């Protein structure tokens, strides 16, 4: 439509609240694209959301930024936790939202592994524009969360006794967390059946 102005979001000053808002925006944008996205309960996971359906979930870490690069040619986006890079396998994708540009970047975890920050919405050539190919790449989430043929559905996700999944799939991590919680409840002599009353 001609003459329609793009909505400029009001910037939330508190970083934690802004991050929570970005997570809700991710759920909305994923839903608009027909992707089934959910927010796990609590905030102790190494990812913020999951996309997919039973049998195939992918874990997504949501980040957002309003921090311009010193050059003014793009934005700096933190992709770390407590000033340290995420351990490999903490999630499957980063969904980075550049708020002032209303632009989403869907980036595979391996592309940001070991990094503390990345540059987005860059206009230069070469390494400066490294992540531009992931701008609005929602199709990567769709492809990664599709359920394949019988070979995919018959795979079992290995887990160690501590409950930490060896595989990097979100389903494996969720199963390991549930098993770990049940062991914790059993050690405390609390039956999971008693919790509901």
Q: Are 103 and 134 contained in the same domain?
A: yes
Task: Extract the tokens encoding 63.
Answer: 């980040």
Using the predicted structure, report yes or no on whether residue 157 has a pLDDT greater than 60.
Answer: no
Q: Taking a C-beta distance cutoff of 8 angstroms, is the pair 118, 132 a contact?
A: no
Q: Are 50 and 138 contained in the same domain?
A: yes
Is residue 40 one of the residues assigned to a domain? yes
Is residue 108 one of the residues assigned to a domain? yes
Is residue 52 one of the residues assigned to a domain? yes
Q: Are 34 and 62 contained in the same domain?
A: yes
Number of domains making up the chain:
2
Q: Are 85 and 45 contained in the same domain?
A: yes
pLDDT band (50, 70, 90) for residue 2: low
Is residue 2 one of the residues assigned to a domain? no
How many C-alpha atoms does 60 have within 13 Å on its Cβ side? 32
Task: Show the domain range for 176.
Answer: 159-189
Using the predicted structure, report yes or no on whether residue 135 has a pLDDT greater than 90.
Answer: yes
Measured CA angle at 164 (ends 47, 55), to 5 deg: 65
| CA torsion through residues 131, 51, 147, 103, sign | negative
User: In a 3-state reduction of DSSP, which class is residue 61?
Assistant: strand
Residue with tokens 């921090």: 67
pLDDT at 156: 35
pLDDT at 32: 94
Q: Are 83 and 125 contained in the same domain?
A: yes
pLDDT band (50, 70, 90) for residue 10: confident
User: In a 3-state reduction of DSSP, which class is residue 127?
Assistant: helix
Task: Extract the tokens encoding 100.
Answer: 């002032």
* Helical (H) or strand (E) element with 85: strand 84-85
Q: Are 79 and 111 contained in the same domain?
A: yes
Q: Are 29 and 120 contained in the same domain?
A: yes
pTM: 0.69
The predicted model gives 61-66 an average pLDDT of: 95
CATH of the domain at 70: 3.40.1350.10
Q: Which residues, in sequence order, are CB contacts of 29 under 8 Å at separation 6+?
A: 104, 138
The predicted-structure confidence for 25-61, as pLDDT tens digits, reads as follows 999 999 999 999 999 888 788 899 999 988 889 999 9
Q: Are 110 and 169 contained in the same domain?
A: no
Please give the DSSP secondary-structure letter assigned to residue 166: S
Q: Are 26 and 108 contained in the same domain?
A: yes
Work out whether strand 80-81 and strand 84-85 pair parallel, antiparallel, or are unpaired.
antiparallel
Using the predicted structure, report yes or no on whether residue 139 has a pLDDT greater than 90.
Answer: yes
First and final C-alpha spacing in the chain: 56
């Amino acid at each position: 439509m001609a003459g329609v102005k793009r909505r400029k979001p009001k910037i939330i000053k508190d970083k934690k609240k802004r991050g929570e808002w970005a997570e809700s925006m991710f759920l909305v944008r994923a839903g608009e694209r027909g992707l089934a996205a959910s927010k796990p309960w609590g905030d102790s996971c190494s990812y913020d959301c999951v996309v997919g359906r039973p049998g195939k979930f992918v874990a997504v870490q949501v980040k957002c930024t309003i921090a311009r690069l010193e050059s003014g040619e793009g934005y700096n986006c933190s992709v770390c936790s407590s000033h340290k890079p995420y351990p490999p396998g903490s999630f499957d994708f980063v969904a980075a939202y550049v708020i002032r540009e209303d632009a989403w970047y869907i980036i595979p975890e391996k592309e940001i592994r070991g990094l503390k920050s990345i540059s987005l919405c860059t206009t230069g050539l070469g390494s400066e524009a490294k992540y531009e190919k992931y701008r609005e790449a929602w199709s990567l989430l769709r492809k990664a969360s599709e359920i394949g043929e019988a070979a995919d559905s018959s795979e079992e996700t290995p887990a160690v006794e501590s409950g930490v999944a060896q595989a990097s799939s979100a389903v494996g991590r969720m199963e390991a967390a549930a098993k770990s919680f049940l062991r914790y409840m059993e050690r405390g002599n609390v039956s999971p059946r008693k919790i509901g009353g």
